[in-house]
Structure 1
Amino acid sequence: MANIGNKLIKAIKDKGNTLENEMSFFEHLEALRWHLIRAALAVVIFASVAFAWYNEIFENIIMAPTHTTFWAYRMMCDMGELFQNLLPKLFSAKDFCVESIKVHLINTEMAGQFTLKINSSLMIGLVLGIPYLFWELWRFIKPALHEKERKAASGFVFYASLLFIVGVMFGYFIITPLSIRFLAGYTVSDTIQNLFDIDSYISSVATLTLATGVVFQLPILVYIVSSLGFLTPKLMRSSRRYAIVIILIIAAIVTPTPDALTMTVVAIPLLFLYELSIIVAGVVERRRRAKELAS
């Protein structure tokens, strides 16, 4: 009887521990849900502001890469003049200057322009709200970390947001105008006129900018994987040649243009990010070794 009683008490305790763990799991889910709700609310607020000021945003930001006065085209012209002054026999400023961009946009749906305004406003809200999303994720993860881990990862929100913003700016000011310039002027035959659907244009601009912002998170990803012990700087250095091939493939996917100039412009920052990631992995490895020696 005593054994049966002990087994019964043990079973009750085990059940209590199981219920406690389950409650803890659901409490974490509830906390995560509220963090995501606040992040979504921030996206909606930013999207509402973009919706209210949409006319100015559409003309001065969304359609800006189709104007020859855009920053990237002016820099290309300045570079052409510089190359012409340095090597006049090899380069001409006219080869770099963009004199015209023929982008003719059309709408083929009855409610197309209204849904365009809503969708592009939500996209702008998402871009502006991602740094806040990083902060909410950090608030969710922070309580589960030890004091040293909190100090080591204290700059997560800042660096992740900075890399994302730099990536978005690079995609918007460099990749997007180069892609638009190439695709708008590319024709198979003179009998075919390029008429672009407005949804196609918006999705191209959004994809190029967001994809570049995500790709620029490579150092953060390397930091996390290195902290788990799955990646070392030695492995990354020995895999550099394979990484270059992968980066070129990513550059080809991110940029819809097949010209070598655009792919090179995209690949160079990615190579820089890879080298930066090697440094990040080295810092993580040194910290791990120091921790092992201290213990």
Structure 2
Amino acid sequence: MSDPQQIKDEPVEETFISHLVELRDRIIRAGASVIVVFIGLVYWAPDIFRLLARPLMQNLPKDGKMIVTDVTGSFFVPMKVTMMVALVIALPIVLYQIWAFIAPGLYQHEKKLVVPLVGSSYFLFLCGMAFAYFVVFPTIFRVMAHYNAPLGAEMTTDIDNYLSFVLTMFLAFGVTFEVPIIVVILARMGFVTIKKLRQIRPYVIVGAFVVSAVVTPPDVFSQLILAVPLIILYEVGIIAARIIVGKDKIKEQETEAAEDAKRDGD
């Protein structure tokens, strides 16, 4: 005679295994999409790296050049850059695989919210990378070249170090441009009210300059280039949250916050 408890546990175990199998398949498809794009781009890897290095090369002194200090650097660095580009291009497919895995567990209103948020997050991250490439890099390299001139020092850099710097800047500015999305999510889920977001504005301004001082090179221009957009994007996030959340929801949140403050005072 079968144990009733064993019969009850079997469907749960089968469901868990089926989820693991589906997760494996989604990961394989996401990884395969990146690899396919990478294979399609690998022939142009040197050209892709030269395009990435253009902001630096345009601001180097006459006859300036980049150097290679590692024997395999001239091969692997362009491959890394190409893989990064392939990941960015294939990211919509990767995000879709993630979405397809978690979608069955979401409510209908959550599904309607996730799709525009993910799409706008991808777009804003690309905007952050573009801002870093077209605005930040030329400014930083121009300033650094100006500082080196009086010293009589030759401005050169290893291609691997340059890649590390570029990736750090891309990530920093990509995440910075996600600030409006983060603000909207926090307001939408009721973690903070619009009124509270306005009240903490001075702390956000200070935090923006602290983050920029840590991430960017130690000069005022570079720090302003990160801090100012961060502050502006925070204000954009407040405006977007006010539009998306709606006046009725804002009043409800403010009423609940006032009641919580009153209870804490009592």
TM-score range, shorter chain: 0.7 to 0.9
Q: 1:102 to 1:180 in 2, by over 3 A?
A: farther
Aligned to 1:78: none
Does 1:37 find its partner at 2:16? no
Which amino acid in structure 2 is aligned with residue 126 of structure 1? L
Assess if the C-alpha contact under 8 Å between 1:134 and 1:160 holds in 2.
no
How far apart are the structure 2 equivalents of 1:154 and 1:134?
Answer: 10
Unaligned runs of 5+ in 1: 1-7, 69-97
Q: 1:104 aligns with which of 43, 65, 71?
A: 65
Size of the aligned set, in residue pairs, is 251
Q: 1:37 to 1:102 in 2, by over 3 A?
A: farther
How far apart are the structure 2 equivalents of 1:101 and 1:236?
Answer: 49
Q: 1:195 to 1:289 in 2, by over 3 A?
A: closer
Aligned to 1:155: 116
Larger radius of gyration: 1
Aligned to 2:55: 65
Q: 1:20 aligns with which of 11, 18, 24?
A: 11
How far apart are the structure 2 equivalents of 1:100 and 1:261?
Answer: 20
**TM-score by structure 2 length?**
0.80
As a proportion of its length, which structure holds more helix? 2
**In percent, how many aligned pairs have the same letter?**
32
Q: 2:198 aligns with which of 212, 227, 237?
A: 237
How far is the alpha carbon of 1:162 from its aligned partner?
Answer: 0.9
Assess if the C-alpha contact under 8 Å between 2:64 and 2:156 holds in 1.
yes
Q: 1:126 to 1:109 in 2, by over 3 A?
A: same
How far is the alpha carbon of 1:122 from its aligned partner?
Answer: 1.4
How far apart are the structure 1 equivalents of 2:21 and 2:9?
Answer: 18
How far is the alpha carbon of 1:184 from its aligned partner?
Answer: 4.0
Assess if the C-alpha contact under 8 Å between 1:123 and 1:206 holds in 2.
no
Aligned to 2:39: 48
Does 1:176 find its partner at 2:150? no
The residue matched to 1:155 in structure 2 has which SS?
helix
How far is the alpha carbon of 1:175 from its aligned partner?
Answer: 1.6
Assess if the C-alpha contact under 8 Å between 1:232 and 1:281 holds in 2.
no
How far is the alpha carbon of 1:39 from its aligned partner?
Answer: 2.0
How far is the alpha carbon of 1:285 from its aligned partner?
Answer: 4.1
Assess if the C-alpha contact under 8 Å between 2:61 and 2:145 holds in 1.
no
How far is the alpha carbon of 1:174 from its aligned partner?
Answer: 1.3
Q: 1:279 aligns with which of 233, 236, 239?
A: 239
How far is the alpha carbon of 1:170 from its aligned partner?
Answer: 0.8
How far is the alpha carbon of 1:18 from its aligned partner?
Answer: 4.0
Q: 1:140 to 1:200 in 2, by over 3 A?
A: same
Which amino acid in structure 1 is aligned with residue 79 of structure 2? I
How far is the alpha carbon of 1:104 from its aligned partner?
Answer: 3.1
How far apart are the structure 2 equivalents of 1:215 and 1:17?
Answer: 48
**TM-score by structure 1 length?**
0.73
How far apart are the structure 1 equivalents of 2:56 and 2:120?
Answer: 31
How far apart are the structure 1 equivalents of 2:87 and 2:183?
Answer: 24
How far apart are the structure 1 equivalents of 2:182 and 2:61?
Answer: 40
Aligned to 1:133: 94
How far is the alpha carbon of 1:125 from its aligned partner?
Answer: 1.6
Unaligned runs of 5+ in 2: 253-266
Which amino acid in structure 1 is aligned with residue 49 of structure 2? F
Aligned to 2:258: none
The residue matched to 1:276 in structure 2 has which SS?
helix
